[in-house]
Chain A
Amino acid sequence: MAHGFAGDRFFPATLLTDDPFVADEISLPTVRWNPTGPDGSREFDIEGDLAKRITPDLGFTIGDQWQRLKVPGGGATGIGTLDTGLQYQLFVNAPHEAIGLVNLGVSWGHTGRVAALGADDFTTISPGFNFGKGFGDLPNSVPYLRPLAVTGNLGFDFPAKSHSAGSPNATSLNYGAAIEYSLPYLQSAVTDIGLRPPFNRLIPVVEFAFSSPIDNIGLGQTTTGTIQPGIIWAGQYFQIGAEAIIPATRATGHGIGGVVQLHLYLDDLLPKSLGRPISQWAQ
């Protein structure tokens, strides 16, 4: 399988919400201009992320980013915290276009510029569940709802260190979702409305993600999150996504940011080598 297929449904890789499928894919680059932080800081990131299957249902992820942080009166640049993950494809239900994955993420402490950029000086363990559901199984009486799909994730952050620089490192609940309307699905499974390239491969999307501290909460620590409307163009070998970043809480910041991403499908680009699960490399 790989790639985000569940039956007739193709789930694109979303820019904010974690994907519900193991894959051989690489995001390079993801360029992000964050909204202005509550302290007046501005952050610009260039990220690279790799997702690789070990077996058809087991995969890992690794990612890092170069950051430029501007604060009133100064700034810094450097590498952020290294993130890795182990993922297992829990189920794929083709008739109902449903898909689920469990993952265990780790953000490694002291892998970024701690003092200058505020990168973590502690490791965080993040178990989670990601899911996707397409609505192609709705009755034909509501044909224009069938291209809809939702992906989402639910997880926790468990810091391995209770305090840093005198402030508590909170345990957090993370939750988010992406609502997608697939024009490719509309064209190929519902009704051909005559869209031609590049419009027949567009997937408008609205994503949101929040993180709420639930334990060991410090003064002023509260829910943060963003809402990100945008669009994904999903081609045969790669996809391009662009979204606005809108702070959803006062503690997140103010103003509007943006993110663009080039995402390569390694299983399509390199079907006989890097795009195959590692367990099949010798076959």
Chain B
Amino acid sequence: MPRSVWLAAAAGLALGLAVQPAGAHAVLDHASPAVGSSLPASPPTLSIWFSENLEPAFSRVTVTNRMGQRVDLDDARVQAAQPKVLQIGLKPLPPGAYVVHWRVVSVDTHPTQGNFTFVVSGR
């Protein structure tokens, strides 16, 4: 391919990147309790760290037990000081497996979702 074509393509892309604020899909970076982890006791909260800043109004998380009953406090929040962290309070959890369902929208409006489990062993 002629060098001029490559240069024009690279220049166009570079110009586009320079004038546009980039955003991206928010993906789960890590969580507490950790994905797939086993805890000796019930944690007071669940926190998920994402790769991008979140839109608080469109970011949700729920925690359910094996029967599908919610065990969270329905107070999911993204704090202004930590725009990449989605947090929710938890009821006291008896030993068992719990499923976390999250669905978030990053600040550039891309939606993503996911599920993971953690276990409270009670010992």
Q: Which residues of A contact B (CB under 8 A)?
A: 3, 5, 7-8, 10, 26, 28, 46, 48, 64-66, 79, 94, 140, 143, 184, 187-192, 236-237, 264-265, 267-274
Q: Which of B56-64, B76-84, B88-96, B111-119 lies at the interface with chain A?
A: B111-119
Closest to B108 in A: A271
With A8-B113, A66-B1, A236-B52 in contact, is A269–B20 under 8 Å at CB? yes
With A143-B36, A236-B52 in contact, is A269–B27 under 8 Å at CB? no
Closest to A143 in B: B36
Q: How far is the CA of A165 from the CA of B113 in the complex (A)?
A: 55
- Asked if B110 and A268 sit within 8 Å, CB to CB, the answer is yes
- Asked if B13 and A28 sit within 8 Å, CB to CB, the answer is yes
Contacts of B109 in A (CB 8 A): 271
Chain B's interface size range is 20 to 34
With A66-B1, A264-B13 in contact, is A189–B31 under 8 Å at CB? no
- Asked if A48 and B9 sit within 8 Å, CB to CB, the answer is yes
From A65, A188, A273, residue with most partner B Cβ within 10 Å:
A188
Q: List 9 A-B contacts (CB under 8 A).
A: A188-B35, A188-B114, A189-B115, A192-B30, A236-B24, A269-B16, A271-B22, A271-B108, A272-B20
Q: How far is the CA of A273 from the CA of B16 in the complex (A)?
A: 9
- Asked if B113 and A7 sit within 8 Å, CB to CB, the answer is yes
Distance (Å) between the CB of B28 and the closest chain A CB? 4
B121 near A: Cβ within 8 Å?
no
With A7-B113, A184-B27 in contact, is A192–B35 under 8 Å at CB? yes
Q: How far is the CA of A190 from the CA of B1 in the complex (A)?
A: 45
